[in-house]
Amino acid sequence: MKKFRWQLLIIFLTGLVIGILLLTEQPGLKPLTVKPTAGGTYTEALVGSFDRLNPLLDSHNSADKDIDRLIFSSLLKFDDRGIAVGDLAATWGVSLDGTIYNFSLRADAKWHDGYPVTAEDIAFTINYLKSGASYIPADIQTFWKDVQLAVVSDTDFQFILPEPFAPFLDYLTFGILPEHLLENATGEALVEDPYNLAPVGSGPYVFSRMLTENGQITGVVLKVNTAYYAGRPFIEQIDFRYFPDSQSAFAAYQEGIVQGISQVDQSVIASAIAQPGLSVYTGREPILTLVLFNLKDPTANFLQDTVVRKALLTGLDRQGMINDLLQGQGITADGPIFPGTWAYYDGTKHVDFDPIAAKNMLIQDGYIISSGTDTVRQKEGTGIIFTLLYPDDPTHQAIAQYIQKNWETLNIQVDLEAVPYDQLITDRLSQKNYQAALVDFNFTDMPDPDPYPMWDQAQITGGQNYSQWDNRIASEYLEDARVNPDLDTRTKLYRNFQVIFSQELPALPIYYPVYSYAVSSQVSGVRMGPIWDSSDRFSTILEWYLLASKPQSQITPGK
């Protein structure tokens, strides 16, 4: 009898489950949703150490920059397509000649101490950028010294440029400082001002306190800004805890100390992906790894041959390189402009790895193995032999060796030379003292593609056109796009440039690295696309939440 009752119970439960499934399949029924509610504390393991919390002092410390992103506001931000969106700026416009930019601030923007954010704060911050202080990068100081700022009212002001410069908006993402709190901290004094240990900003979170242990700063606590102009964040408090590397940060997650890991590098990526309850988010970094060629080096005239360059790219297993050396943490690159951005040409051709096709290209171009004892392809007595420089670190060394082996299968001899990165730029590339080089072009905080510095004719002498690519038509496209403020026109100009680039391949695009970030699945609303800086992982912080409830319409009466 007891056994029979269990059979009835099983039949009943099975019918109940089937009934529920049938109900959920009925048309018109809405899926169960939840409503995010305010509250909770999110704790993140921040890889790095504390220095100062000040947006003008954080350019060399990503850990400071990550926290500053939540405390401070900027005039503009950029979405993952590289399109400018307003932060403190409510509206802006540019004159027809591209030299005057008019801005209006949000009237509801306030500092954390209740003071309104005004145009004078903008002018005050920019004066710091012009100040000549040692903590401001020289190129930033030079740029701003040529720009005038005219304050029209508390909320209106204009920038006056000496000449049209379409990428100007890139320079407006710096954090704004409060004049009423720092007006006496002039020049170098800003570095040691107590403000940097207890900053007041206008962003979504308010500095609360430092966490210390044995006299060392071990973390920073932020509280929600309930008066934030863009809307109150759901998460009430964010605690940052400092860790020296990704391994120790991941261990802290496993021990339940933190809910997120700011940087998941190759040392822990596999473990993080396999960790139950941990979601790993990746986004393309603003870095392009490529092989540059010195197109005017007389000792390697064969590199001036477009067919040779195309064969070299066709014979390069870029996806294999990413899989084998980077644990899949990269995206193959097809050109000098990032995919998914407003300037990228979707018609850019992808070159597949095909060593047989690469050999045939070289043979048809006259590069052959002249005898059974030769191991290098040659044409008219000149073999394809050259030296590839690479930055002197383990990652670039492994990539260079991978490239070397790929090209050896094409009967091309590549000698490798490791060079410290600073010397690679200043002593070799700038001096055009090289044949080929493996390099990274870093576009952090530069969403506007502006390929002009790297590929325009005018930049061959004294500029960054290290390849010495000398194409007049491509240069005209770049020059026009740099001074035209109309986005549609610039898009067409850059499309034309990319077509020429893919046809001539003055350099070989290899891959874009990706940034990986891990957050507990208990934290909802997290999204991350391509980034322009690691702090961009917080671009959707207003959507993150830890607590939720059913909407009232889904709550059964009496329950």
pLDDT 10s digit of each residue in the chain, 559 long?
333 333 333 333 444 443 444 344 445 545 557 799 999 999 999 999 999 999 999 999 999 999 999 999 999 999 989 999 999 999 999 999 999 999 999 999 999 999 999 999 999 999 999 988 899 999 999 999 999 999 999 999 999 999 999 999 999 999 999 999 999 998 899 999 999 999 999 999 999 999 999 999 999 999 999 999 999 999 999 999 999 999 999 999 999 999 999 999 999 999 999 999 999 999 999 999 999 999 999 999 999 999 999 999 999 999 999 999 999 999 999 999 999 999 999 999 999 999 999 999 999 999 998 776 678 999 998 999 999 999 999 999 999 999 999 999 999 999 999 999 999 999 999 999 999 999 999 999 999 999 999 999 999 999 999 999 999 999 999 999 999 999 999 999 999 999 999 999 999 999 999 999 999 999 999 999 899 999 999 999 999 999 998 666 544 444 3
Structure tokens at 558: 């009496």
pLDDT at 21: 41
Cα gap 542→540, rounded to integer Å: 5
pLDDT at 186: 84
Kindly report the number of other CB atoms within 10 A of residue 353's CB atom: 17
User: What 8-state DSSP symbol labels residue 460?
Assistant: T
Same domain flag for 235 and 326: no
In a domain? residue 65: no
Same domain flag for 537 and 454: no
Whole-prediction pTM value? 0.89
CA proximity to 535, closest of 224, 69, 72, 52: 69
Specify the 3-state DSSP secondary structure of 289.
strand
Amino acid, single-letter form, for residue 227: A
pLDDT at 371: 74
Cα dihedral angle (535, 540, 542, 548), rounded to 10 degrees? Answer: -120
Same domain flag for 367 and 408: yes
Distances (CA, A) of 212 to 194, 216, 220, 222, 366: 17, 5, 9, 15, 69
CA atoms within 13 A on the CB side of 445: 15
In a domain? residue 8: no
- State whether the Cα torsion 91-176-168-163 is positive or negative: positive
Same domain flag for 252 and 332: no
Chain length of the chain: 559
pLDDT at 34: 79
E strand intervals along 152-257: 156-160, 205-213, 216-224, 237-243
Same domain flag for 366 and 256: no
Same domain flag for 265 and 167: no
Same domain flag for 394 and 494: yes
In a domain? residue 313: yes
Kindly report the number of other CB atoms within 10 A of residue 326's CB atom: 18
In a domain? residue 57: no
Alpha helical stretches, state H, 58-202: 62-71, 119-129, 138-145, 179-182
Cα gap 363→315, rounded to integer Å: 13
Kindly report the number of other CB atoms within 10 A of residue 521's CB atom: 11
pLDDT at 30: 54
CATH number reported for the structural domain that contains residue 296 in this entry: 3.10.105.10
Same domain flag for 268 and 190: no
Same domain flag for 406 and 327: yes
Which residues lie across from 388 on neighbouring strands? 416, 436
Same domain flag for 390 and 273: no
Q: Which of 179, 196, 213 is the last residue of a domain?
A: 196
In a domain? residue 408: yes
With b for 16 or more beta-carbon neighbours within 10 A and e for fewer, the 456-469 pattern comes to bbebbeeebbbbbb
- Domain residues for the domain of 546 are 36-52+203-277+521-559
* Angle at alpha carbon of residue 27, lines to 23 and 33, rounded to 5°: 75
CATH number reported for the structural domain that contains residue 250 in this entry: 3.40.190.10
Same domain flag for 225 and 346: no
Same domain flag for 330 and 466: yes
- State whether the Cα torsion 49-51-53-59 is positive or negative: negative
In a domain? residue 406: yes
User: What 8-state DSSP symbol labels residue 324?
Assistant: H
Cα gap 420→35, rounded to integer Å: 53
* Angle at alpha carbon of residue 506, lines to 290 and 358, rounded to 5°: 80
CA atoms within 13 A on the CB side of 272: 30
Q: Which of 151, 171, 196 is the last residue of a domain?
A: 196
Under the phi-then-psi rule, with left for phi > 0, alpha for psi from -120 to 50, and beta for the rest, what region is 548?
beta
CATH number reported for the structural domain that contains residue 177 in this entry: 3.90.76.10
CA proximity to 78, closest of 536, 451, 544, 485: 536
Q: Which of 196, 224, 249 is the last residue of a domain?
A: 196
Q: Give the chain's domain count.
A: 3
In a domain? residue 24: no
Three-state SS sequence of 100-132: EEEEEECCCCECCCCCECCHHHHHHHHHHHCCC
CA atoms within 13 A on the CB side of 471: 25
User: What 8-state DSSP symbol labels residue 426?
Assistant: I
In a domain? residue 68: no
